[in-house]
Each structure stands twice: as C-alpha cells, then as structure tokens.
C-alpha cells in the first residue's frame, strides 16, 4: 500500500519563557522523535493520556504547528519546510476534525457557508455550483439540504460534528486528522459519527490519523495503533496484536485501567500508581520508569529505542 502520509523522526518543541524579558529558559519536548506512516483507506489510532503529545503530532503533521525537526511526506512529497504559498495545494489534501463541535464552528456563519468556505478559499468550485456541492456534502453526512441555512446553535452536538465532517470532506482530501472527534458526544451519538467515518473511509479511501484517549473507540476504528507517553511512541502495532498481546508495560497498564462494561468481569486490578510526570522535566532514561512496576537500573539512565520485536510489532522497552 503506498503511503499517504509518512512521518519520520518528528520533533516539536515549545519554548518555555520566563521573566520580564521572556527569555527562553528551556523547551517542552512535546513530540520527541515520532515516526509512522498511513496508507490509503487505513486508520492509524494514536492513543495516550493528556499531555502525551498526541494532539501536537496531529497539528504538526498538518503544519498548523511548526515542527522543530524530522520530515513529513504527503503523497511522497516532503512538505516539512514548504512556505505558505507552496503549502497551499497540499492543504487541500489534508483536513482536520476537531473535538469540540461547539467552538470549532463560527457561530455567525450559516452551516452551508461553513462547509462551503474551504471551496471558496481554495477557489475549487465556482460560486454557482458551490451550493449544489455543499448540498451533496450535507446529504452525504446525513444532514438535509434545508439545514444549510441554519446557524450552528440550531444543531445538536452530533449534528455539529457532522458539519465538521462535511467541511473536512469538501476538498476531497486524502488524509483526515481526527483530534478526539467523538469524545464530546454522548455514546448513542458517538456510534453514529463513528459509523459515518467508517463508511466514508470505505467509499473514498481516506487515510485517518485518529487521535483519542478512548481505547474502546480507537480499538473499534483503527487498523494500527500507536501508544504515546510523554512525547514518544512506546508501542506500535496492528490492533489485534496490541489488545491481545501488549508488550510495553505502559500499554498493559492503560488497557487494564479501562472500565469494562460487564459486571461479571469485575476484578481486582493492578492500578498504575502516580501521575504522569511534567513534560517540562521528563524523567531520564525511559520516561515511564517512575511508574513502571518492572523498572530496573538501566531504565533510569538509558533511553529505550523503538525496536521491532516481532514482525510489525514495535516496542520501546529494555525488558522486552
């Protein structure tokens, strides 16, 4: 499968400024050497807890945040250092769906204009045809043409997220980054949006980078999954393997922590102790060693590389 997106050794650092002169006193390594690729029709799930850098990966890939290092290839072309104008044609090919359907739609624009905006900005479809195109997009995501003239506040959360999906689809992108696209929705509505995304992928061969903290959702929608902890990928493999045979102690703990909707499965579980350390001062060596039940001396000093332990199963742990 040819890759739609190829990311190599992506690094995004944020400066930390202090004092009157706002001098840079250090850097937060939000994304610290992340590599992956996504093929057409494929979904890569990116999971991790708050502050692990998953959102920053998504935004860096789209060049909404400037990456500090590494390369991003979209359809084989290196877009990492393209200027604004050069990047424009590539922007059409990659779109984003945001988490919050309330703050990501302009409250003063009609829903139809919101969805038509990318067509206008990119001059993709002339004015007269635009309304038809938008109507088709509305129909595709399960909204009616009559709703095009309504304002965002007239829609429910699930419908707003459909508007977000329609907007992302407007320019026929190849890649869609979903940043927690269903996390703000009720479960019954969440299922509707997940099914919509799955159908669209099958029809249009879209590549998805699906960012979420919800393991059940990620498991349902992804083909492959990468687990992040404090800016690094700690495990990366196909869905079945990850859930059947997690190898990294963090993945293991993460899976064990998810409450299972089955009272018969209630069990005494080993709960991971402590908080996620501050990304400003991550622990030396393996970032996870402060919470890892198996950590050894080596884990505290030496950073584990992401190694292919079994075919297609990458793990960053000294002990595996």
Partner 1 sequence: MLVVENLQTRFYTRAGMVKAVDGVSFTLGRGETLAIVGESGCGKSVTALSLMRLVADPPGRIVGGSVRLEGTELLALDEAAMRRVRGKLVSMIFQEPMTSLNPVMTIGRQIGESLVLHEGLSRRAALARSVGLLQLVGIPEPAQRAREYPHQLSGGMRQRTMIAMALACRPRVLIADEPTSALDVTIQAQILELIGRLQRELGTAMIMITHDLGVVAETAERVIVMYAGRKVEEAAVGELFARPLHPYTRGLMNSIPRRAAVRLQEIPGMVPALSNLPPGCAFAPRCPQASAKCRAMEIPYEEKQPGHWAACLYA
Question: Which of these ranges, 19-27, 54-62, 143-151, 251-259, lies near partner 1 under the rule CB under 8 A?
Answer: 251-259
Asked if residue 5 lies in contact with residue 72, where contact means CB atoms within 8 angstroms, the answer is: yes
Query: From CA 14, how far away is CA 31, in angstroms rounded?
Result: 9
| Angle, alpha carbons 137-116-3 (nearest 5°) | 65
Tell me the closest approach of the beta carbon of residue 262 to partner 1, in angstroms.
Answer: 6
**# residues near partner 1 by CB under 8 A:** 43
Please identify which residue in 45, 112, 158, 231 interacts with partner 1, judged by CB under 8 A.
Answer: 158
N-terminal to C-terminal alpha carbon distance within the chain: 29
Q: Is there binding between residue 68 and partner 1 (CB under 8 A)? A: no
Q: Is there binding between residue 108 and partner 1 (CB under 8 A)? A: no
Tell me the closest approach of the beta carbon of residue 41 to partner 1, in angstroms.
Answer: 14
Tell me the closest approach of the beta carbon of residue 171 to partner 1, in angstroms.
Answer: 27
The dihedral of CA 154, 155, 156, 161: what is its sign?
negative
Tell me the closest approach of the beta carbon of residue 181 to partner 1, in angstroms.
Answer: 13
Please identify which residue in 20, 146, 187, 297 interacts with partner 1, judged by CB under 8 A.
Answer: 187
Query: From CA 236, how far away is CA 258, in angstroms rounded?
Result: 19
Q: Is 159 helix (H, G, I), strand (E, B) or coil?
A: helix
Q: Is there binding between residue 25 and partner 1 (CB under 8 A)? A: no
Please identify which residue in 21, 85, 264, 297 interacts with partner 1, judged by CB under 8 A.
Answer: 264
Query: From CA 233, how far away is CA 241, in angstroms rounded?
Result: 16
Asked if residue 124 lies in contact with residue 178, where contact means CB atoms within 8 angstroms, the answer is: no
Query: From CA 247, how far away is CA 313, in angstroms rounded?
Result: 9
Q: Is there binding between residue 265 and partner 1 (CB under 8 A)? A: yes
Q: List residues binding partner 1 (CB under 8 A).
A: 49-50, 156-159, 186-192, 194-195, 198, 213, 215-217, 219-221, 243, 253-254, 256-266, 269, 271-273, 275-276
């Amino acid at each position: 499968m040819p890759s739609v997106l190829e990311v190599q050794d992506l690094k995004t650092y944020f400066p930390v400024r202090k004092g009157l002169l706002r001098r840079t006193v250090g850097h937060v390594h939000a994304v610290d050497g992340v590599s992956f690729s996504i093929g057409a029709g494929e979904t890569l799930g990116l999971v991790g807890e708050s502050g692990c850098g998953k959102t920053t990966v998504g935004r860096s890939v789209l060049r909404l945040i400037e990456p500090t290092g590494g390369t991003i290839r979209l359809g084989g072309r290196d877009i990492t250092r393209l200027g604004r104008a050069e990047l424009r044609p590539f922007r059409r090919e990659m779109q984003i769906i945001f988490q919050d359907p309330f703050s990501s739609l302009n409250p003063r624009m009609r829903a139809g204009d919101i969805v038509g905006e990318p067509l206008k900005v990119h001059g993709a479809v002339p004015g007269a045809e635009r309304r038809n195109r938008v109507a088709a997009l509305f129909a595709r995501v399960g909204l009616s043409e009559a709703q095009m003239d309504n304002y965002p506040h007239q829609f429910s959360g699930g419908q707003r997220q459909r508007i977000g999906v329609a907007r992302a689809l407007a320019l026929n992108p190849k890649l869609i980054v979903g940043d927690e696209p269903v996390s703000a929705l009720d479960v019954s509505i969440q299922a509707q949006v997940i099914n919509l995304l799955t159908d669209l992928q099958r029809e249009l061969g879209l590549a998805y980078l699906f960012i979420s903290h919800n393991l059940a959702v990620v498991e349902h929608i992804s083909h492959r999954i990468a687990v992040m902890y404090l800016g690094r990928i700690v495990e990366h493999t196909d869905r079945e393997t990850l859930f059947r045979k997690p190898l990294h102690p963090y993945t293991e703990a993460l899976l064990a922590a998810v409450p299972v909707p089955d009272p018969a499965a209630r069990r005494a579980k080993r709960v991971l102790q402590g908080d996620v350390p501050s990304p400003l001062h991550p622990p030396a060596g393996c970032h996870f060693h402060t919470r890892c039940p198996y950590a050894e001396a080596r884990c505290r000093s030496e950073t584990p590389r992401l190694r292919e332990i079994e075919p297609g199963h990458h793990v960053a742990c000294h002990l595996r």
